[in-house]
A and B are shown apart, each in its own frame.
Chain A
Amino acid sequence: MKNICLAFAVLLLAAGCANAPPDDPLEPFNRSMFSFNEKLDNAVTKPAAKAYVAVTPAPVRTWVGNFFSNLQDPWIALNNLLQGKPVDAINDFMRFVFNSILGIGGLLDIASEAGLPKHDEDFGQTLGVWGVKEGPFIVLPFFGPRTLRDATALPLDVAAESPWTMPYGNPIVHDEKARYGFSGLKLVNERARLLGLERTLDEGTLDKYRYARDFYLQQRRFKVHDGNIPIEYDDFDSDESIGKDNTP
């Protein structure tokens, strides 16, 4: 993590002089990180995820997904609280209690079935709600696309969502190897769900870095505002009768 922070500092200095478009000042670095991550994915993560899918039955993958998802809920609750949404926070906390106790340590997501929906919050979003600007787009090694704001929040998000990684006096997992095992399982399980997505990106776009970037940024803004961003559609086809929509 320290290295990443250092890399930021160097980057931000370099960004000042780099000759790149204003909406993506770190573009040259980002593109190389993007392809680094792709190579890493092709070499390690994707094959691991495929093997994982081959050897585990689907219900097991659901349990694993539920288990890690449950451990996120307290952090999601806290972030909802920090964003001034106590009702959502209570919902998230109840989810954690229900699923931990009645859902066998979080293996089953009975809370969703009971009408307590899963929310999507993290500290990067909380910073956004507090008015912190998102800063330049940055592709992190291993972690992928982020805004600088979300990258800053990342260490906290990772620590809070993966309580087993706590290094000292960890009350949950004592064995260091087991901690890596947990993190590995979480990563592989998440990647397994997204198998095939890289193909869509490959085949559906001319410049996949650019598409992925714009898509990521639009999603993040949507999440920070909890979906209250209407998409504005321009009309490039004004001489055509089909294209009109803004004129009632």
Chain B
Amino acid sequence: MTRKLFARCLLMLAVFFTPVAGFAAGEALPPDELVRNVTDEVLTIVRNDKAIQAGDFQKTLALVDEKILPHFNFRRMTSLAVGPGWRSASPEQQERLIAQFRILLVRTYSNALIKFRDQTIALKPLRGDSGGKTVTVNTEVRQAGAQPIPIDYSLEQTDNGWKVFDVIVTGASLVTNYRGDFTQEVNAKGVDGLIASLEAKNKSLEAGQGGK
């Protein structure tokens, strides 16, 4: 009897705290709140984790993978990065492209995050039409002794809540800027060539990962 009651209390507690702790589960948080929650949580971890501060790359990768990536729409991102070549890719090729681009982005993100020390991130008021399907959340990375860097997130509404499909640094899109790079590759060697190049790149970096 008491055990049952205890279990019920526990369940209630869990339900009660889920919206706070478990936004990775995809509740329909408004996009600006989602960005704020995720950045706050991740930065708190980065600031307090001795291993990450000391440059533990594997741990940073794991953090990005667990906390940030669930909020990204990789299919959309990959299609934007690949550009016109995306349409000619078979579903199987698309899946492989997504998988490789994901690895590339995790590493890029982790490289940026591991540098994070005493910067702060300020969220700017949501602009534009939040009733629509896509919205841009503007943030600013502030660092003493340096110009603030605007970083914006483009999000779109999906069945699993709002998902980021682009990150924009000082007006330059991290995702669409791959298009020139990737299109060149597709034109020269086809979609399979691009996949092969990405795989080779990721493999060579995986071998030397965790370095300085």
Instruction: Write the residues of chain A forming the contact surface with B, with a CB cutoff of 8 angstroms.
Output: 58, 61-66, 69, 109, 112, 117-118, 120, 193, 195-196, 199-200, 203-207, 210-211, 213-216, 218-219, 221-223, 227, 229, 231, 233-237, 240, 242-245, 247-248
Name which of B86, B111, B132 has the most chain A CB atoms within 10 A of its CB.
Answer: B111
B108 touching A204, Cβ below 8 Å? yes
Interface of B: prevailing SS: mixed
A65 touching B146, Cβ below 8 Å? yes
B80 touching A206, Cβ below 8 Å? no
Provided the pairs A223-B170, A227-B171 are in contact, do residues A206 and B198 lie with their beta carbons within 8 angstroms?
A: yes
CA distance A120 to B140 in the complex (A): 14
Q: How far is the CB of A55 from chain B (nearest CB, A)?
A: 17
CA distance A242 to B86 in the complex (A): 14
B172 touching A237, Cβ below 8 Å? no
A residues near B142, Cβ cutoff 8 Å: 112
Instruction: Write the residues of chain B forming the contact surface with A, with a CB cutoff of 8 angstroms.
Output: 73, 75-76, 79-80, 82-84, 86-87, 104-105, 107-108, 111-112, 114-115, 117-118, 132-134, 142-148, 150, 154, 156, 158, 165-166, 168-173, 176-182, 184-185, 197-198, 201, 205
Q: Which residue of B lies closest to A61 (CB)?
A: B145
Q: How far is the CB of B12 from chain A (nearest CB, A)?
A: 35
B residues near A193, Cβ cutoff 8 Å: 143, 146
Q: Which residue of A lies closest to B117 (CB)?
A: A58
A residues near B158, Cβ cutoff 8 Å: 242
B residues near A223, Cβ cutoff 8 Å: 170-171
B171 touching A218, Cβ below 8 Å? yes
Q: Top 5 nearest A-B pairs by Cβ distance?
A: A222-B171, A65-B145, A62-B145, A204-B108, A218-B172
Provided the pairs A219-B170, A240-B75, A245-B156 are in contact, do residues A203 and B180 lie with their beta carbons within 8 angstroms?
A: no
B172 touching A222, Cβ below 8 Å? yes
A residues near B154, Cβ cutoff 8 Å: 231, 233
CA distance A203 to B185 in the complex (A): 16
Q: Which residue of B lies closest to A59 (CB)?
A: B144
B73 touching A242, Cβ below 8 Å? yes
A residues near B133, Cβ cutoff 8 Å: 244-245, 247-248
Q: Which of A64, A206, A247 contacts B197 (CB 8 A)?
A: A206
CA distance A64 to B146 in the complex (A): 10
CA distance A118 to B104 in the complex (A): 33
Q: How far is the CB of A59 from chain B (nearest CB, A)?
A: 8
B181 touching A211, Cβ below 8 Å? yes
A residues near B166, Cβ cutoff 8 Å: 231, 233
B176 touching A233, Cβ below 8 Å? yes
B180 touching A210, Cβ below 8 Å? yes
A residues near B82, Cβ cutoff 8 Å: 236
Q: Which residue of A lies closest to B76 (CB)?
A: A243
A residues near B115, Cβ cutoff 8 Å: 195-196
